Amino acid sequence: MLSRYFGDVRRNHALEHATVQLLLARLGPELRLVGRASNNGFIIYGRVPPDALAECAQEGLRRLQRGEDYWAVTPLCGTNIATAGIMASLATMAVSAISAHSKTKDRIGNAIAASVVAVAIAQPVGRLLQEKITTSPDLGDTEILSIESREDGKFHKVRTRRAYAPSASL
């Protein structure tokens, strides 16, 4: 049951990414959006025309169902931000512990250098985490049920459902 829940979140996360990328391509990169996936769909926070959202969500679903897996991963994902923050923090702490007896200016310089290297390394690591853990482009049996817009078009809920095969009875 828990694996089904997380599998649904991962699939909806992939659909959210595809939808947002298509919205940005259509409406321009100055569009400010935040998305959050759940087991029954995803939420988009941002001023988006509901018809554009509906079209981009359906197009994203079709593209993922056709096997265009690259839509599931984006550099704009919070996974990348979290990965960079965690890795920079760990690098800073490690360098600070190792150079505890060094001069303050050397510790600060080393910590900054370690953080920069960690953030650079975090970019491919964040992408890998998206590919392997936080998203799944396997939307073959997923459908969009509804799209609800509230708060004068600033909040949108895209509801999805995955058609599960009925279990065999004995």
What's the confidence (pLDDT) of residue 141?
93
What 122-125 contacts at long range (C-beta under 8 Å, 24+ apart), as own/partner pairs, is 122/80, 122/83, 122/84, 122/86, 122/87, 122/88, 123/75, 123/80, 123/84, 125/83, 125/87
* Same-domain pairing of 50 and 110: no
Residue 11 shares a structural domain with residue 45: yes
Q: Same domain, yes or no, for 31 and 68?
A: yes
Q: Is residue 21 domain-shared with residue 59, that is, in the same domain?
A: yes
Q: What is the pLDDT of residue 166?
A: 53
pLDDT of res. 168: 47
Position 45: which residue type?
A: Y
Residues 28 and 44 in one domain: yes
- 131: nearest Cα among 17, 5, 1: 17
Reading the chain (170 residues) residue by residue, the pLDDT tens digits are 788 999 999 999 999 999 999 999 999 989 999 999 999 999 999 999 999 999 999 999 999 999 999 999 999 999 999 999 999 999 999 998 887 677 777 778 888 999 999 999 999 999 999 999 999 999 999 999 999 998 787 999 999 999 865 554 44
Write the burial class of residue 107 (CB in 10 Å: 0-12 exposed, 13-18 middle, 19+ buried): middle
Identify whether residues 90 and 128 lie together within a single domain.
Answer: yes
Do 61 and 44 share a structural domain?
yes
User: Cα–Cα distance between 53 and 65 in angstroms, integer?
Assistant: 18
Please say whether the beta carbons of 148 and 42 come within 8 A. no
21 shares its domain with 60: yes
Report how far residue 50's alpha carbon sits from residue 153's, in angstroms, rounded to the nearest whole number: 7
> Would residue 168 count as lying in a domain?
no
On whether both 126 and 157 belong to a single domain, the answer is no
Contact 75, 123 (CB under 8 A): yes
Q: Is 34 exposed, middle or buried (0-12, 13-18, 19+ CB in 10 A)?
A: exposed
Domain with 104 in it = 78-132
- The model's pTM is 0.87
Question: Is 18 in the same domain as 100?
Answer: no
pLDDT, residue 70, reads 96
Q: Clarify whether residues 84 and 108 are in a common domain.
A: yes
Task: State the total domains in the chain.
Answer: 2
Helix (H), strand (E) at residue 95:
helix 78-98
Judge if 60 and 39 occupy the same domain.
yes
